[in-house]
Amino acid sequence: MGGELGSLVAAKLEAEPWVGALVGIDVDPPRRRLRKAEFHLLQPSQRERIVDVVTKFNPHVVINLSVWEPDARAGLAHARKFTADAATAIIGAAAECPSLEGMVVRSGIEVYGRERNAATRPTESAPMHPTSEYGLMLANVEHQAREVGKRVGIAVGKLRLAPVLGKHVPSPLGRLLRQPVVPFSLFADSPFAVIEDGDAARAFVLAAARRLDEPLNIVAPGAITTLQAIMRGRRVPLPMVGPEWYVASKLSHVLGAPIPDHVVELMHRGRLADGAKALQVLGFSPALSTPEVIDHLYAWESVVRIGSIQEAVA
Amino acid sequence: MAQLIEFPVKAATRAGHALAEPLRAAWPSHSVDDYGRDPYLISALAPFTKLRWSVTVGGTHHLPANKGALLVCNSRRYSLSAVYAALALSEETERPVRFVGRPDIAPFGPFMRRIGGLLAKPADVLSALSHNELVLVAAEGTSHPRNAGKVPHELVGPAVVAGVPVFPVATMSSTIGRAARVEVGPAVRARRKRRGPLAEVELADQVQHHIQRMLDGFGGVQTGVAPIDWLAEG
C-alpha cells in the first residue's frame, strides 16, 4: 500500500461500494490520502507481525502487490529477498484466514521469458519459461499463490502486468527512457508493450471484485520500439551493437539508471503479450495505449523547482 | 548546505534535438502494430521490392473483408515466395498479411518481424488468426517451380482451432526475371468432419492438392523457344 501502485489500488478500493474495511501493509507509508484504510508499516522480514495483522483482520480478499522489481526501489539481491519474504508472509498468512474467498497476486509478462522461438504475443495459456531474474521472481510468487489456493480451496487470480510505467512509478525502464541519452539495440530494436499504473490498479480492483481464479495478461494495446520511444521523448538515441551494452549498462548505473537483465532483454528481444482475455473475463480495457503511456511518462517535468511554485502561488 | 550537481540536461537535450530531429522528421515515432509489423517501413521498402518482383495478384475476392484467414502458398527453394506474396497481397487487399517463417535471430529476425513475419510456431499463428488477421504459411520448399510441397499440418491446425477458412495460394516467380504471380483460390473445405488432429492433417493434404491443381493451371513457361521452355520445366 506504500508503493505507487499499492496506493492507487487502495484509493480505488476505498471508492468501491463492496469494500467494507481495508488493511494495508508496506515498508513505505501510503503516497495518497486514504480515508478508510488502516495502514501498518512493516518490513517483509517481520513475518510474525504480518501474520498477526492479516489473521486478526480476517479478510475476504487479499491482494498481494509486494513485488520488488530489480533496480526499481532496490537492487537485485534485495529485491529478490524482499519479494520472497513478502510472498511467504502474506500468502502464508492469507491461508490462515477462515473468511478468505480469493487472492489476487501481482505477476508480470516477464514470466513467459524471451528465449529463442518464444511466442511473439503469448496468451495466458503459453508455458512459463522465465529468462530473467525478475521473471523467475514472479514465477515463484505465482507458484506459491497457486499452491496455497489449491490447498485452502480459494480463488487465486494472477495478473501478469506488462512493465508498469507512470509519472511517479519507480521503474528501471521508465528511468532509463527518461535519461538524456538512451541506448537502443541497432540490429534488434524489438517492440514492447507497457501498462499505465492507473490502468493496472483498475485491473486489480476488478479482479478482486470478481474473485478472479486464473492468470490474465494486463497489457495496453499497441506496441512501440525503444528507438520510437526515444524519439517520442526527444532524447538522444545511442545505437548499440553488442559488447558495448556492458559498458553502457555500467555507465548508466553510475548515472543513476541501472539497467537490469529484464530491461536489456526487453530492448533486445521485445516484450509483447495478448491482453484480449482481460476484456472477456473482467471487462477490463486499458484507458491508455502503449504510445500514450510513453507520452505520459515524458510529460512529467524532470525537476520541479520549489521556487517557481512559490512564485506562481504568490 | 550541499550543492546539487546536475547533469547538463538542457545542453544534452538541445544536442539530442539537433541529432534526432532529422530522424524524427523522416520516420514516424509510432508505426509498429501489436505484432511488430511496421507499415511505414514496408511502404519505404516498396520501391526496392518492386525492383526485384513485379507481382500480378489474382483471386483476392475470395478473401474475407475483415475476418481472419489462413493462406497457404507453394514455395520454390530460396524464392522468398511467402515474403513477396504477403507484401503483394497486403497491398492488394489493403489489410496486413503476415507471413510465417521468420528466424528468431538478429538482425534478420527483427527485420522480418518489422515487415510482417511471424515465427513458424502454432502459438504465433493461432494468436494472429484469433485476432482476425490474415496469415500466410508456405508449404515445404521444392526445387521445381510448379510442384507444391508438403503443407505443414501443425501450422494448419491453428486455423481449425480458430475456426477460420483456409485458402490455397499458388505462387510463381523466376529466379532471374522480375515477373511473379500470386493467385488465391477459393477456401478449401474439409471433406470429412473430424474431432481430433486428423482434421488438420487431412485439410493440409487437401490444400496441397488444391495448390498443385492451381499450379498446373498456370501452364509451363512459354518463351517461344522450345528448348528454353523445356529446360525451364526442369
Tell me the residue range of the domain where B113 lies.
53-232
Distance from CA of B3 to the nearest CA of A (A): 15
- Other Cβ atoms less than 10 A from the Cβ of A153: the count is 9
Contact A190 B127 (CB under 8 A): no
Which CATH number fits the domain that encloses residue B148? 3.40.1130.10
**Residue A260: pLDDT over 70:** yes
CA dihedral over A303, A202, A67, A190, signed as positive or negative: negative
Indicate the residue of B13, B121, B131 with minimum beta-carbon distance to A119.
B121
Structural domain contains residue B190:
yes
Structural domain contains residue B30:
no
Strands (E), A146-270: 155-161, 164-165, 181-185, 191-192, 195-196, 215-218, 224-225, 236-240
Domains of chain A with CATH codes: 4-310 (3.40.50.720)
Structural domain contains residue B135:
yes
Residue B233 pLDDT class (50, 70, 90 cuts) = low
Indicate the residue of B12, B29, B118 with minimum beta-carbon distance to A180.
B12
Structural domain contains residue B219:
yes
**Residue A294: pLDDT over 90:** yes
CA-to-CA distance for A288 and B77, rounded, in angstroms?
44
pLDDT at B17: 72
CB A80 within 8 A of CB A133: yes
What digits encode the pLDDT tens for the residues B166-192?
999 999 988 888 999 999 999 999 888
Chain B positions touching A302 (Cβ under 8 A) are 9
Chain A positions touching B13 (Cβ under 8 A) are 180, 234-235
Structural domain contains residue B138:
yes
Among chain B residues, CA nearest to A114: B104
Structural domain contains residue B105:
yes
Among chain A residues, CA nearest to B122: A119
**Residue A305: pLDDT over 60:** no
Mapping DSSP onto H, E and C, the string for A57-103 reads: HCCCEEEECCCCCECCCECHHHHHHHHHHHHHHHHHHHHCCCCCCEE
pLDDT at A226: 93
What digits encode the pLDDT tens for the residues A183-217?
999 988 999 999 999 999 999 999 999 999 999 99
Residue B118 pLDDT class (50, 70, 90 cuts) = very high
Q: Considering its fold, how many domains does chain B have in total?
A: 1
- Other Cβ atoms less than 10 A from the Cβ of B94: the count is 7
Q: Which helix (H) or strand (E) holds B70?
A: strand B69-76
Structural domain contains residue B199:
yes
Residue B11 pLDDT class (50, 70, 90 cuts) = confident
Structural domain contains residue B125:
yes
Contact A276 B131 (CB under 8 A): yes
Contact A291 B36 (CB under 8 A): no
**If you write DSSP's letter for every residue of B135-186 in order, what string do you get?**
EEEEEEEESSTT------HHHHHHHHHHT--EEEEEEEE-SSSSEEEEEEPP
Contact B29 A228 (CB under 8 A): yes
What's the average model confidence in pLDDT over A295-301? Answer: 83
Chain A positions touching B35 (Cβ under 8 A) are 120-121, 223, 272
Residue B222 pLDDT class (50, 70, 90 cuts) = low
φ, ψ (nearest 5 deg) of residue A182: -120, 125
What digits encode the pLDDT tens for the residues A8-56?
999 999 999 999 999 999 888 887 788 888 999 999 889 999 999 999 9
- The residues of B whose Cβ lies within 8 A of any Cβ of A are 6-7, 9, 12-13, 15-17, 19-20, 23-24, 27, 29-36, 104-107, 109-110, 113, 118-119, 121, 123-124, 127, 130-131
Tell me which of A9-13, A232-236, A291-295 is least confident. Answer: A232-236
**Residue A314: pLDDT over 50:** no
Indicate the residue of A255, A268, A291 with minimum beta-carbon distance to B30.
A291
Among chain A residues, CA nearest to B120: A117
